[in-house]
Every structure is written in structure tokens, then in C-alpha cells.
Amino acid sequence: MSMHDDSIYATVTPEPNESRGSHGSYSSDHYRQPPQSSGRGCTGFFLGCGVVLIIMLVGGFLILSVIVGGVAQLSASVGELANVSLDDALTEKHVSGNRKADDKIAILTIDGIITGAEDGFVAKQIRQIIKDDNVKAVVLRVDSPGGTMSGSDYYHYLLKKMKRERDGFPIVVSMGSIAASGGYYVSMVGDEIFAERSTITGSIGVVVPMFKAVELSKKIGIESMPITSGPLKSMGSMMQPMTDEEKVVWERLIDDNFNRFKEVIREGREEFAKDPASLDKLATGQIYTATEAEANHLIDRIGFLDDAVAAAMNRAGLDEKNSKAIKYRPKLKFLDVLLEARTPDNILGKKTLLDLTTPRLYLLCPNVLPILDE
């Protein structure tokens, strides 16, 4: 033990009036003791417990609020559905007009690359509209650079079927930033077509993307040796050069589907039915501005979504006082509501990338990336 340990020894200085003992030492009552620390006791313990309890109560209240809010949002969305099965139903979002009205203008959206998914969001919207007698007209909102020939033709077929089964109710098309190639193809169901001032449309034509890696495979020592039942079975392979015979086959497929594309346009646009030659001049694959499209009768008017909704209401004999415009959302699970998750058809996933690199017929505006849903 150190002689200089201040915690054990303390220096004592005599006060002026202190008296010495008989042996010259100071009396023991003049020694000062170091201060003693006092514990918190029960009060501090209960205070700490109280703080922890308050934090737990506040946290629990916040979590409960989020849960209750999510349930309320989900219930409100489901509560707006009418005359449809809840198993396959989409939720509705009010856009404009009288929220309490029964009669609806349905905004049916086609966004991004068109793949023609048979059970995708577009097909579900169409099925729901067919079942809902309160829908009196449709605004087809197209914001797409196109997609596959088969997918575009399938959506066109479904839209025509919807109109037929609903006794020919009005369909007004509203083009977004782009409605080209396959996006223009599906627009041909419209009784009236609006395009925004900055819309790109047209690109009437068919393309088969081809990728060749013959020279690259030679450099890295890879040789393709397919065993086929016939000389055309492996046509389109990126590991083999295209033969003249293969080129003739591809051109025949393209011409046949190109003629189908122009036939759909003539069916949808009276001007071109009367004058097919005027369509041939425009169907070069060129894209057009909204102004050019209007001048060439590819569209009817320049206007925005609100203008298209107003036109649809007018054609259906409705107005904003006795009707409402709604749009559809994919049916969400409870966790999706909390996280505001979305599941559109046009997510550019692995399957879509593989599809885009497979030789097939496309109605696709060249050099345009997929446009994702908001």
C-alpha cells in the first residue's frame, strides 16, 4: 500500500483556536472523514422502470397506428369495388368527378413493353371492366414503345372483345409520352384518339431483331454444330450466318404481319380505309410528333388525359356531376399496402430480357428503352 494514497490518509491542518492535547497532539474530533457516496435507492429504480415503460407504450402505439392505417386503406380500396369477384378484383382509385357517383369512366392503362401476358395487369383490367355494369365508357391510356407482334395483337383482340361484350360503349384513346408501333397498334380500338403535345407515335412496321456472333465465336474457338431435322430448323441462330433461304422466310413473315398491321389501322381509321395509299406513305417505320400525326390523320386531336376523359363522358352522355373517372391498381396484399409495393406487367426482368433477344416478330419503336409504370 502506498504511503501517498489520498483515499486512506488525509492531511489535517489545525484551526487557529484549536487546543492541543496533553501530549501535544490534536484531539481526534478534529480529524475530517472523506465524504461518503449515497446510493439511488428505490426511487431511482422505479424512475428508470417508468421511463422504459413509457418508451414501450409510445412505440406500441406507433406500430398499432401503422397497422390500423394499413387496414383502413385496404378496406377503403376493397370497399370501392362493385359487381366483381374479390378473388380476382383490382382496386379502384378515384381520379375525377363525383366520388359518390355509380357511373364510371374507366381509365385502362397499357404501359411499357407489350408482352401480351394472358393473366397480367392489362388483361385483368379488361376482365373487370366487362363485369362492371357501372362502367359506361373507357379511356385507353397508352404509354408504350410497343412490344411483340403477338402481344400487341392479343391486347387488340381483348379490347375489341370488351367493346363488343359491352354493347359497343365508347373507347377514347389517350396517348402518353410515346404510343408507337405496338402502342399505336392497340390504339386502333379507339373511337377517338388524343395525343399530348410531346407524344411520339407512329413507327408503323415490323422488325425481327437479329444478333450475330459468328466472327466472335471463331476468335474464341467456339463452333456451332446443331443437328436438325431440316435446313431451316436452326434459322435465326446467332452462331451461324444467315443463308439466302432463311432471309426469304423471315421477309415473308415480316411482310405478312406488316400487312396485318396496316389492316388493323384501316379498320380503326376511316381515313385510311378510304385511301389505303395514304397509309402506305406513312407506314415506313418513321416516328411522328403529335402535330405531324394530327396532320396525317394518325390521331384526331392534341390533348391531355383530362381532355380524353371529358370526351368519353360526353360520348357516354355523362358529366362530372353524375359520374366519376377511376383507374385500376393491382390487388395488394396487406404487406404491399404498408410498403406501397407495385407489380406491373412490364418489369424488365430476366424473362423479358431473354424474350427481347429471341428472334421473333416485334412491333417495337427502334432504340427505345422500356418505360416503367409509375
Q: Which residues are catalytic?
A: 181, 233
User: Three-state SS for 177?
Assistant: strand
DSSP code per residue over 269-320: -HHHHH-HHHHHHH-SS-EEEHHHHHHTTSSSEE--HHHHHHHHHHHTT--T
All three cell numbers of 311, joined, read: 370526351
Handedness of CA 214, 217, 218, 219 (dihedral sign): positive
Beta-carbon contacts of residue 260 (< 8 Å; ≥ 6 apart): 153
Residue with cell 424473362: 351
Handedness of CA 313, 316, 321, 327 (dihedral sign): negative
**Among 273, 151, 278, 261, which Cα is nearest to 203's?**
261
Angle at 120 between CA 119 and CA 126, to 5 degrees: 85
